[in-house]
Structures are given as C-alpha cells and as structure tokens.
C-alpha cells in the first residue's frame, strides 16, 4: 500500500476511515508521480480529508460525486464551516485538490465522465464545430469562442426545440446583438459577435438556408484593422529585453529561449508551447511546426543564435523527464509541458523587468516583421516568414516602409514639391 504522508491524527482518520479511504492510495500515488513537495501533498490530502468528512456528515456516497458536489461544498459548506481546526479551508487549494480527486475517480470508473451536451442544439453545434475544424481549419480557441456565441443565439430562439433557421427573423438577430452588448459593450466584443454570427449564417447558407435577410442586419462595428501601426520593440528595447535574463532568475535559459523563438522565428505562444524535441533537426538546422494556426506543417530555418539558446536550456535547465515536449514544468506536477499562459507570463515578466510598456507576446512577432521591412524585405516575404495565409494580414507592415511610401505620396497642396 502506498505510504500516506504524516498528517494530523484527525485528518488522517477522516481519510482512512471515511468514504474515500479505498481511493486515497491512488491519490497519493498521483501526488508522488507529479513529484509534489511534501508540504503541498499534505495540503492536498488535508483538503480531500475535509471533503471526506463532509461527505460522511451529509451521507453522500462516492458514486454520486461530480462537479456540482464540489461546487456545493465550496460555496455553502466552507462559507460556514465549523469542522475541527485541522480542516483545510482555503478555497483555492481545496478546489485544486478536489478536481484531481474527481479525475482519479473517473480513471478508476467509480464515477462517470461528465455528460456531453445532448439535444437538437448540441447536435447543431457539433455539426458546426466539425465544419469549422474540417472545412475552415480554425484553431480550437476560435471555434470555442464562436460556439459560445452561437449557442446563446440558438438557446434564446429555440430553447430545447429543433433548430429551424427559417424561423429566425431579423428582429431576433438585432435583439440578440443588443442583449449581448449590454454586458460588455466594447468594440472587440461587438466585432467578435458580428463575426461569429456572419460565419454561422454563411455556414447555414451552404446548407441551403435562405439567410441573406439575416446577414443584412448584422452591421459592422467601427473597427479599422489597418488604422494603427503595429506595436513593436525598438532595437534598444530588444537588447534590454534579451539582457534581462540573468542568473538571478529561476529559469533564465528557458525564458531567453522562449523570447528568441518569438523574436527570431516569429512563433506564436501556442506554437512555442507545442514544440517537441523531435521537431528540431540539429543536423540540418531546422524547426518543424506541426500544429500551426493554419493547420499546416511548416519547416523553418533555425538561426544559430536561437539554436544556441535552445541548447543552453536543454543542457542546463530542462528537467529530467520522459515527456518529449521542449519546454516542461520545473514545478509540480512534473513531467508535463508548460502551458501557453506560462509562455506569455515569461515575456510579460521580462517586459516588466526592463520597463517596456507592452503586455503581449505578439509584439515580438511585430518586431520581427518590422526588422524585415526595415532591411528591405517585401510584404510577400514578410507574409511568408510570419506564415500568414492571406497577404492582406501583412499589409499593415507596408506603413513602415517609408522609402516606398515617399515614392507614392502626392505633394501637399501649396507646397514647393
């Protein structure tokens, strides 16, 4: 039997004498596989023990546990908890511990997996999601955002009934947009709603529905995509940023490698997150991107300075693990890749250290594009390097080519020119 860490006697009794006793060894094994610190493991077990004690008092069997039970425990029991003092009451820690508990119970087939949405609307959303993924090649995040908006539209009109697009009227679309903008009336939200509705109605048009009257009422918010200049870093800011990864940081080689990938290759955060060790060909000096936004496989040259940054990270900082992801966690749970948020946090923290007023990793892609334009590259070459599917996406960088703009600028009325 897996050894249980040292705990308060009351906490230990709640664990080993309660309704979850037979599953505690599996929980402890999970903590050990993730190489959690002893203090963190004790806090997790204390949270599970508190939950087990509540289950005993409430006569709740294990097989009925689900996310709603955890929500009820956090929302109502912790708010007025009078359990003995060893009970863990920190909501954030308790929630994290109990989410892991549910995962173990599902792996052991003690409780069922969360039920998938069912009914006519769920079926319609599933078909639309398949269309976006297979026919349009949209990224997961884009699909999820659009599905949330379309789900609200269909629920507002059809409820649990069959989806009959012919029943949608222009006033339904207008009222829906107005209702959605009440909660968040920003330009970006208006653009997202309008884009999602247009895309869905065009999908329905491809299915044979007459949706032109509905498309006509979706007005375009005042949002000019090429109105501003791309926010990029100046050369001195780039130097300060790269110099900020000193030995005083917990993982300077990892942070430096992340910034070099974004700055030298123009990689997006999600692309950096999904890199595998096998994607790097050290002999040929290339990097293969297999999970790109455009759902293509791209092979990019690996600059020497970028390769040296990756080598330093792999040799000196990358933990010993069987996981083939390039960037893996330094903290528990171990043997897992770091998330996209961690990639973005690395860059944001570097901005903050050197006082650069930027908040987005995407500024590094803009910086690469601006450098290319500054060295005489064409917009087509910029689009190729950034892997834009449409040349229109890269047109914003044409504003930076001042020498070419001087050649097409008309003289100002009344000037000597």
pLDDT, tens digit (0-9, with 9 covering 90-100), for 342-364: 999 999 999 999 998 876 788 89
d(CA 106, CA 72): 19
Q: What is the mean pLDDT of residues 275-287?
A: 95
Question: How sure is the predictor about 50, in pLDDT bands with cuts at 50, 70 and 90?
Answer: very high
User: 59 or 292: which carries more pLDDT confidence?
Assistant: 59
Question: In this model, does residue 1 exceed pLDDT 50?
Answer: no
Average pLDDT over the chain, rounded to whole? 87
Q: What is the mean pLDDT of residues 208-237?
A: 80
Side-chain half-sphere exposure of 280, counting CA atoms within 13 A: 21
Side-chain half-sphere exposure of 377, counting CA atoms within 13 A: 19
Tens of pLDDT along 206-222?
Answer: 999 999 999 999 987 76
Q: Tell me if 11 sits within 8 A of 46, measured CB to CB.
A: yes
Question: In this model, does residue 257 exceed pLDDT 50?
Answer: yes
* Cis, peptide link before residue 333, omega less than 30° from 0: yes
Question: In this model, does residue 365 exceed pLDDT 90?
Answer: no
User: 118 or 353: which carries more pLDDT confidence?
Assistant: 353
Question: In this model, does residue 160 exceed pLDDT 80?
Answer: no
CATH for the stretch 120-216: 1.10.150
Q: What is the mean pLDDT of residues 131-160?
A: 89
What pLDDT score was predicted for residue 376?
77
Residues of the chain within CATH 1.10.150 domain(s) are 120-216
Question: In this model, does residue 4 exceed pLDDT 80?
Answer: no
User: 134 or 400: which carries more pLDDT confidence?
Assistant: 134
Question: In this model, does residue 407 exceed pLDDT 70?
Answer: no
What contacts 319, CB < 8 A, 6 or more positions away? 328, 329, 330, 334
User: 198 or 68: which carries more pLDDT confidence?
Assistant: 198
Q: What is the mean pLDDT of residues 350-379?
A: 84
d(CA 260, CA 272): 11
Q: What is the mean pLDDT of residues 75-98?
A: 88
Q: Tell me if 147 sits within 8 A of 219, measured CB to CB.
A: no
What pLDDT score was predicted for residue 183?
75
d(CA 404, CA 370): 14
Q: What is the mean pLDDT of residues 300-304?
A: 94
Question: How sure is the predictor about 5, in pLDDT bands with cuts at 50, 70 and 90?
Answer: confident
d(CA 39, CA 196): 46
What pLDDT score was predicted for residue 395?
62
Least confident segment among 94-108, 182-196, 244-258, 304-318 = 182-196
Helices 38-58 and 91-107 cross at an angle (nearest 10°) of 80
Chain-centroid distance of CA 272 in Å reads: 12
What pLDDT score was predicted for residue 253?
96
What pLDDT score was predicted for residue 119?
85
Question: In this model, does residue 290 exceed pLDDT 60?
Answer: yes
d(CA 89, CA 50): 8
Question: How sure is the predictor about 292, in pLDDT bands with cuts at 50, 70 and 90?
Answer: low
Question: How sure is the predictor about 297, in pLDDT bands with cuts at 50, 70 and 90?
Answer: confident
The CATH number corresponding to 235-403 among 1.10.260.40, 1.10.443.10, 1.10.8.100, 1.10.150.530 equals 1.10.443.10
What pLDDT score was predicted for residue 357?
83
d(CA 122, CA 127): 9
């Amino acid at each position: 039997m897996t050894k249980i860490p040292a705990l308060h006697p009351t906490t230990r009794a709640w664990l080993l004498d309660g309704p979850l006793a037979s599953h505690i060894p599996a929980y402890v094994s999970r903590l050990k596989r993730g190489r959690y610190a002893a203090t963190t493991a004790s806090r997790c077990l204390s949270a599970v023990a508190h939950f087990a004690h509540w289950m005993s008092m409430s006569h709740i069997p294990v097989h009925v546990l689900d996310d709603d039970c955890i929500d009820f425990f956090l929302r109502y029991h912790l708010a007025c908890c009078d359990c003995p003092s060893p009970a863990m009451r920190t909501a954030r820690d308790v929630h994290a511990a109990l989410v892991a508990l549910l995962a173990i119970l599902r792996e052991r087939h003690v409780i069922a997996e969360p039920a998938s949405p069912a009914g006519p609307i769920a079926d319609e959303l599933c078909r639309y999601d398949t269309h976006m993924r297979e026919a349009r090649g949209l990224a997961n995040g884009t699909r999820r955002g659009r599905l949330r908006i379309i789900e609200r539209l269909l629920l507002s009109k059809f409820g649990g009934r069959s989806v009959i697009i012919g029943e949608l009227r222009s006033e339904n679309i207008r009222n829906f947009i107005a209702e959605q903008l009440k909660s968040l009336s920003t330009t970006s939200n208006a653009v997202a709603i309008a884009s999602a509705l247009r895309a869905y109605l065009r999908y329905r048009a491809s299915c044979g529905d007459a949706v032109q009257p509905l498309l006509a009422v979706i007005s375009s918010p005042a949002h000019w995509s090429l109105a501003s200049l791309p926010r990029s870093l100046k050369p001195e800011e780039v130097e300060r940023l790269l110099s900020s990864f000193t030995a005083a940081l917990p993982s300077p080689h990892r942070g430096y490698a992340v910034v070099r990938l974004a700055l030298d290759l123009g990689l997006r955060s999600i692309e950096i997150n999904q890199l595998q060790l096998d994607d790097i060909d050290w002999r040929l000096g290339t990097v293969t991107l297999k999970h790109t936004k455009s759902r293509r496989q791209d092979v990019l040259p690996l600059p020497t300075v970028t390769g040296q940054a990756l080598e330093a990270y792999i040799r000196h900082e990358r933990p010993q693990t069987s996981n083939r992801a390039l960037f893996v966690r330094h903290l528990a749970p171990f043997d897992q890749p770091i998330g996209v948020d961690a990639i973005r946090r690395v860059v944001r923290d570097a901005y903050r250290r050197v006082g650069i007023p930027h908040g987005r990793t995407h500024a590094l892609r803009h910086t690469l594009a601006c450098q290319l334009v500054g060295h005489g590259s064409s917009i087509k070459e910029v689009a190729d390097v950034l892997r834009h599917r449409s040349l229109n996406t890269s047109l914003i960088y044409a504003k930076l080519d001042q020498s070419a703009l001087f050649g097409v600028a008309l003289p100002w009325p009344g000037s000597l020119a």
